[in-house]
Amino acid sequence: MLYHSLNQKVFAMPEASIGLFPDVGASYFLSRLHGYFGEYLGLTGRRLNGEEMVKCGLATHFVPSKKLNLLENALRSVTTSDISTINALIDNFSEIAYLKEDSPLKRLDTINKCFSKGTAEEIVLSLEKEMEVEGGDKWIGDALNYMRASCPTGLKIWLRSVREGRVQSIEECLSRDYNIASHFLRRTVSNDFYEGSRAKLFDKDNKAMWNPPKLELVTEEMVNQFFAKVEDENWECLKLPHRSNILGSKL
């Protein structure tokens, strides 16, 4: 599958900031990025620009916004579904993507070192140590601030989900996401999704009262409940239609 990126496009998975977790199959496509970059994106809500999307593998082409209309017109004239033909056409409008000096993709060694840890708590501790060594590097501070302000339960669920997703199909990942999201909506464990939405989207006071309020208070048993089947005779697991004509991603 082809994914094009624009210079004005921004990608992010900030769901943990509203009491949820990165869903819609993120555990599939983010787990297939280099090293532990997927863990990093889901746990920190970091925004990526168009160039970064291409460099990390979330997009195949970098197309400047000024060329978008020309590309769209060219695509309308295509009479074939041959992927190589379409790919070659998009190449004509693409440019080389360059990373800025402050891009997290230039810090993959540190990201892999920190975000490969076994638990969210260990990741925070590792980032804090790097903060001391690197003298307060801004990207580390931003990561820590996001994790400290976000839903602890959502962060732990994402870490488990992205690691399970590495060895699962897109269908399995989407099915699990639906199951977990159902638990959030049903308040199986807590009211975090509604509280996060209130604080971030409605009242906008950015003062969500998470329950539990800290990572170390979110037990494995709590996390397990989100991965368990919803106990309701009227609830059904996600059933995806078979679509053999979908091209696989190269992530």
pLDDT tens-place string over residues 239-249: 888 766 554 44
Query: What Cα–Cα distance (Å) separates residue 62 from each residue in 2, 37, 52, 76, 174?
Result: 11, 20, 9, 19, 27
How far, in Å, CA of 202 to CA of 151, rounded? 17
Q: Are strands 4-6 and 61-63 parallel, antiparallel or unpaired?
A: parallel
Could you tell me the pLDDT band of residue 211, with boundaries at 50, 70 and 90?
very high
Structural domains present in the chain? 4-227 (3.90.226.10)
Tell me what the pLDDT averaged over the chain comes to: 90
pLDDT at 39: 98
Which of 4-13, 128-137, 181-190, 229-238 is predicted most confidently?
A: 181-190
Whole-structure pTM value: 0.88
Furthest-apart CA pair in the chain: how many Å?
Answer: 58
Q: Are 32 and 42 in contact (CB under 8 A)?
A: no
Query: How do residues 116-169 score in pLDDT, each as one tens digit?
Result: 999 999 999 999 999 988 677 899 999 999 999 999 999 999 999 999 999 999
Could you tell me the pLDDT band of residue 7, with boundaries at 50, 70 and 90?
low
Query: How do residues 68-112 score in pLDDT, each as one tens digit?
Result: 899 999 999 888 888 888 989 999 999 888 899 999 999 999 999
Amino acid letter at 219? T
Residue 196: count of CB within 10 angstroms of its CB: 23
